[in-house]
């Protein structure tokens, strides 16, 4: 078989596709920043094999199919405008908020410190603090300002949420903070919410929620997922 | 960009592409090392390097991962090259099963995820070693002809000294990459060939993994944590479905450690890097389906027994 052009074509498309991910920042939607260098490496290596690799023929029909498949994969990836994982994915996959909490709490205990200014804390900080001390009265009237997407119904209450990532979107898990009142917004609208923490009741149980004083719609963040970066400072509960 | 996808499809493709983009560099690293081995390591050097006794061979194979600290996607091209270098398939298999865990990167990530529990690390490494060598030992009872896929056996035949067509002529089936003097263009071409073969199969694996993730919620396994034996099986099933890279699976497992008993977390950490959807499909480029079924069965049974024994012991 003389269809060696398909090999080069597939390789060219795959290289351009990885380049597109890097330059359009869509790579943020797929994998953890810790692994970006792997994609840079892959893009460079594919380019080298494309330019400097010896011409090789597609040797069998099977090879032809595999090359075509790679070309199709890359072409589709080039044409699609990817959006961040939506809350629907959380519903479909039923990712439990509690599982995210556990990841957080374990890590936060070791690596992070929280700002004394409560307005500077993000969802991850708050969720970790709540996991360590879930008593709602402890946080009564604390000011809060967080960004995330709107979840109309998360375990019985509206919430503001973000996905957390360890490796890639396949392991994304959702963390959220409940809202005292529902907002008149469609699911997945990106928001910045300001308010105060207060005790709320969800399904008959005491919980912590945000009493919203102000909110505004924002563009999805360029890195919509919460990714962990190790810090060396130690956690101090006194700042809570 | 030309078009946007409906929400559900976008979610599916985000997961699908994330698996591919994460795995593709590892396949390339594996293909690169495989190509380098083709040119710089002769079959005879393996014969010298490998011990003669089967138990020692299995031990060395299980430890080879320390030279190849990548996940299962990267190990398969390397394992294919090992067999092409006349290493017995069961040795390559033992390497394939053990290397995703018995390597410095995975050891470091397990320590980072479970810093206060050195038992987890110790048991993960020990159980992986035992399951990999045990499965390798069981598969060693079969001949190469019985375990290799017909396509791969045909390729491997080229490296057999009894393979007898003239190296000045092209092989009729076109599967030979006849060795000439080392040249970078040829090496890169070899990397490309290996990469195409692996990535094509990987795409199928990622499609199935992403589909199952969308349709079978992870919370499905939460219903099975009442009984220890059921929890172990559930976490093995989760590991099979999620197909997460072994370099980071400890962090993923950590999220379940409050809900599931430690024996089942161990089962996830031991079984997942060996047998998952994408790995099984990629193994198909080496082994036939019957052998893959046997490998999954042995690895599954050994993992289950070891983890259940741990539960009974604590």
Q: Does B247 touch chain A (CB under 8 A)?
A: yes
Task: Write down the pTM of the prediction.
Answer: 0.77
The lowest-confidence range among B27-36, B101-110, B154-163, B199-208 is B154-163
Residue in B with minimal Cα distance to A98: B255
Rounded Cα distance, B267 and B240, in Å: 11
Chain A residues near residue B21 by CB distance under 8 angstroms: 18, 21, 27, 30-31, 39, 168
pLDDT reading at B266 higher than 90 = yes
Ramachandran category for residue A68: left, alpha or beta (phi over 0 → left; psi -120 to 50 → alpha): alpha
The closest of B151, B244, B158, B237 to B200, measured between CA atoms, is: B151
Q: What is the 8-class DSSP label of residue B170?
A: P
Higher pLDDT: B98 or B154? It is: B98
Which of A17, A24, A48, A53 best probes binding to B when mutated, by most B CB atoms within 10 angstroms?
A53
Mean pLDDT across B286-293? 94
Within A80-191, where are the H helices? 87-93, 97-111, 123-132
Q: Are B245 and B23 in contact (CB under 8 A)?
A: yes
Rounded to 5 degrees, what are φ and ψ at A216?
Answer: -140, 145
CB B243 within 8 A of CB B203: no
Closest by CA to B139, choosing from B96, B89, B101, is: B89
How many angstroms separate the CA atoms of A180 and B123, rounded?
A: 45
* Shortest Cα distance, chain B CAs vs residue A83, angstroms: 7
Nearest to A92 among B196, B197, B217 (CB): B217
Per-residue pLDDT of chain A (240 residues; tens, 9 = 90+): 455 788 889 999 999 999 999 999 899 999 989 889 989 999 999 999 988 887 766 667 777 888 889 999 999 999 999 999 888 776 544 443 444 444 444 444 444 455 567 777 888 888 878 877 888 898 999 999 999 999 887 777 899 999 888 778 887 878 889 999 999 999 899 999 999 999 998 888 888 999 999 999 999 888 899 886 544 333 344 443
A-interface mutation test, from B2, B6, B15, B26, most A Cβ less than 10 A away: B15
- B140 CA to centre of own chain: 18
Cα–Cα distances in Å, from A148 out to A51, A151, A162, A174, A177? 43, 9, 5, 11, 10
Which of B2, B185, B192 is facing A79, going by the closest CB pair? Answer: B2
φ/ψ bin of A146: left (φ > 0), alpha (ψ from -120 to 50), beta (otherwise): beta
Q: What is the per-residue pLDDT for B200?
A: 82
B252 CB near a chain A CB, below 8 Å? yes
Lowest-confidence pick of B48-57, B66-75, B289-298: B66-75
A102–B257 CB contact, under 8 Å: yes
ipTM of the complex: 0.85
pLDDT at B161: 46
Q: How far apart are CA A111 and CA A215, in angstroms?
A: 31
């Amino acid at each position: 078989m003389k269809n060696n052009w398909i090999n080069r074509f597939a390789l060219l498309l795959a290289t351009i596709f990885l380049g597109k991910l890097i330059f359009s920042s869509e790579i943020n939607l797929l994998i953890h920043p810790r692994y970006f260098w792997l994609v840079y490496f892959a893009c460079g290596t594919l380019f080298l094999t494309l330019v400097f690799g010896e011409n090789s023929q597609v040797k069998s029909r099977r090879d032809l199919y595999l090359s075509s498949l790679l070309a199709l994969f890359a072409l589709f990836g080039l044409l699609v405008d990817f959006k961040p994982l939506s809350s629907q994915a959380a519903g479909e996959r039923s990712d439990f908020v509690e599982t995210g909490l556990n990841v957080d709490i374990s890590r936060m205990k070791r690596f992070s410190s929280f700002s004394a200014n409560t307005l500077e804390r993000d969802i991850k900080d708050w969720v970790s603090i709540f996991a360590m001390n879930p008593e709602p009265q402890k946080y009564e009237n604390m000011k809060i300002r967080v960004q995330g997407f709107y979840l109309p119904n998360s375990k019985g209450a509206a919430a503001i949420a973000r996905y957390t990532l360890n490796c890639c979107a396949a392991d994304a898990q959702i963390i959220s903070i409940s809202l005292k009142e529902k907002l008149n917004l469609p699911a997945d609208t990106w928001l910045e919410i300001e308010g105060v923490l207060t005790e709320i009741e969800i399904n008959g149980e005491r919980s912590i929620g945000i009493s919203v004083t102000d909110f505004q719609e924002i563009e999805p963040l360029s890195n919509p997922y919460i990714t962990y970066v190790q810090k060396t400072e130690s956690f101090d509960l006194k700042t809570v | 960009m030309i078009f946007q996808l409906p929400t559900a499809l976008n979610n599916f493709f985000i997961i699908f592409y994330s698996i591919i983009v994460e795995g593709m560099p590892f396949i390339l690293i594996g293909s690169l090392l495989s190509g380098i081995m083709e040119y710089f390591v002769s079959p005879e050097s393996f014969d010298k390097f490998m011990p003669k006794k089967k138990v020692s061979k299995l031990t060395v194979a299980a430890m080879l991962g320390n030279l190849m600290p990548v996940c299962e996607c990267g190990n398969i091209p390397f394992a294919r090259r090992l067999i092409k270098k006349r290493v017995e398939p069961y040795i390559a298999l033992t390497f394939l099963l053990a290397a995703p865990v018995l390597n410095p990167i995975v050891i470091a990530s397990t320590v980072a995820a479970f810093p206060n529990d050195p038992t987890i690390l110790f048991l993960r490494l020990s159980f992986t070693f035992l399951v990999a060598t045990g499965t390798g030992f069981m598969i060693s009872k079969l001949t190469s002809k019985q375990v290799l896929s017909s396509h791969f056996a045909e390729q491997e035949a080229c490296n057999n000294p009894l393979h007898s067509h003239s190296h000045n002529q092209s092989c009729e089936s076109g599967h030979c990459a006849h060795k000439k003097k080392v040249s970078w263009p040829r090496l890169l071409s070899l990397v490309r060939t290996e990469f195409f073969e692996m990535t094509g199969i990987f795409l199928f694996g990622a499609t199935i993994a992403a589909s199952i993730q969308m349709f079978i919620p992870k919370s499905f396994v939460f219903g099975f944590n009442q009984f220890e034996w059921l929890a172990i099986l559930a976490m093995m099933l989760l590991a099979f479905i999620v197909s997460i890279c072994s370099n980071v699976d400890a962090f993923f497992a950590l999220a379940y450690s409050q809900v599931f008993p430690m024996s089942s977390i161990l089962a996830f950490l031991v079984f997942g890097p060996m047998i998952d959807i994408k790995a099984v499909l990629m193994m198909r480029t080496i082994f036939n389906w019957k052998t893959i079924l046997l490998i999954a069965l042995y690895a599954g049974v050994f993992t289950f027994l070891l983890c259940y024994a741990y539960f009974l012991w604590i």
